[in-house]
Amino acid sequence: MEPAGQKQTAHSLFISDLHLCGSRPAITTQFLEFLRQQAAQAEALYILGDFFEYWAGDDDLAQHQPIIQALRELSNQGTRIYFMHGNRDFLIGEAFAQTAGLTILPDPTLLTLYGKRVLLSHGDALCTDDVAYQDFRQQVRSPAWQQTFLQQPLSVRKAQIEALRQRSEQEKSGKQESIMDVNAVAVDELLRRYEYPDLLIHGHTHRPALHELEVDGHKVKRWVLGDWYEQGSCLFADEAGFRHQPL
Ligand code: LP5
Ligand code: MN
């Protein structure tokens, strides 16, 4: 292991769906270790949503201090950190970003990385067969709804989110698995809109895989990131290509 600050060849890491929370402390420990070991060697770390089990607002920073502090240290050491909202933590705002030393990316974001055009997304917007979820998503992603929600005391917001989590689990148990995966037409439309990137990287479905697609005669790879419930999951990218990195 090289000392912090001395990088291997330029590479970036992609993770999502860690669902960090106090009731799964082992995952937080593993993530803090990942920051000190793998992420410290990377030029950039992309966190593609559902980083936290849920986020009730940036006035709850204190509860997540060790994680925020570790991100800040990584950023100070020279690894650029990017974060994209997931359906659990879309209320993460600029106060969090500045304290943690990261940049929030809109969903989706198109980048050029190591000579490839790469489209990043959390993935929930692609699950268009889940109509109940998409209706809910449209409501809670509106700035007006968020402003009203955030005006309530933190304890009230947390209680509402806990109640919603229960309802979400209940509703999920009645949904077919296929409804909770991405819709192939929605994926094609997104890829068409972004003029056929070489890769689409997303999480959310917790179904890690590489799908080789052909859209209007263009080859596109769709990488799906895995969650961190049992163990970490990470995609590694450099000039040689993109591949899963065992943790
Ligand atoms: O999260 P996951 O993967 O288990 O399930 C998602 C969808 N569920 C959600 C809800 C989140 O789990 C909980 C919210 C996190 C914090 C958000 C902060 C602020 C919101 C506070 C609101 C009071 O995203 C689940 C999908 C699944 O992914 C697969 O894609 O199926 O969707 C649902 O289960 C949603 C239900 O189908 C519809 C719920 C309607 C509830 C309406 C209550 C009214 C709330 C007020 C809204 C204006
Ligand atoms: Mn998600």
Domains of the chain, earliest start first: 12-244 (3.60.21.10)
Please tell me the distance between residue 188's alpha carbon and the centre of ligand 1 in angstroms.
25
Query: Residue 218 has what pLDDT?
Result: 98
The tens place of each residue's pLDDT in the chain, 247 residues long, gives: 445 555 579 999 999 999 999 999 999 999 999 999 999 999 999 999 999 999 999 999 998 999 999 999 999 999 999 999 999 999 999 999 999 999 999 999 999 999 999 999 999 999 999 999 999 999 999 999 999 999 999 999 999 999 999 999 999 999 999 999 999 999 999 999 999 999 999 999 999 999 999 999 999 999 999 999 988 899 999 999 999 998 8
Please tell me the distance between residue 90's alpha carbon and the centre of ligand 2 in angstroms.
10
Q: Is 124 in the pocket of ligand 1 (CB under 6 A)?
A: yes
- For residues 63 and 78, give the distance between their C-alpha atoms in angstroms, rounded to a whole number: 25
Q: Is 193 in the pocket of ligand 1 (CB under 6 A)?
A: no
Query: Residue 1 has what pLDDT?
Result: 45
Query: Residue 247 has what pLDDT?
Result: 86
Three-state SS for 16?
coil
- For residues 245 and 96, give the distance between their C-alpha atoms in angstroms, rounded to a whole number: 28
Please tell me the distance between residue 228's alpha carbon and the centre of ligand 1 in angstroms.
20
Q: Is 227 in the pocket of ligand 1 (CB under 6 A)?
A: no
Question: Which alpha helices (DSSP H) does the chain contain, by range?
Answer: 25-34, 40-41, 65-77, 94-100, 131-140, 143-150, 154-173, 184-193
Instruction: Name the residue of 52, 164, 169, 204 whose CB sits within 8 Å of the most ligand 1 atoms, as the mutation to test its pocket.
Output: 164
Q: Is 50 in the pocket of ligand 1 (CB under 6 A)?
A: no
Query: Residue 6 has what pLDDT?
Result: 55
Query: Residue 8 has what pLDDT?
Result: 74
Query: Residue 246 has what pLDDT?
Result: 84
Q: Is 48 in the pocket of ligand 1 (CB under 6 A)?
A: no
Q: How many residues does the chain have?
A: 247
Q: Is 131 in the pocket of ligand 1 (CB under 6 A)?
A: no
**Any idea what DSSP says for residue 88?**
S
- For residues 137 and 132, give the distance between their C-alpha atoms in angstroms, rounded to a whole number: 9
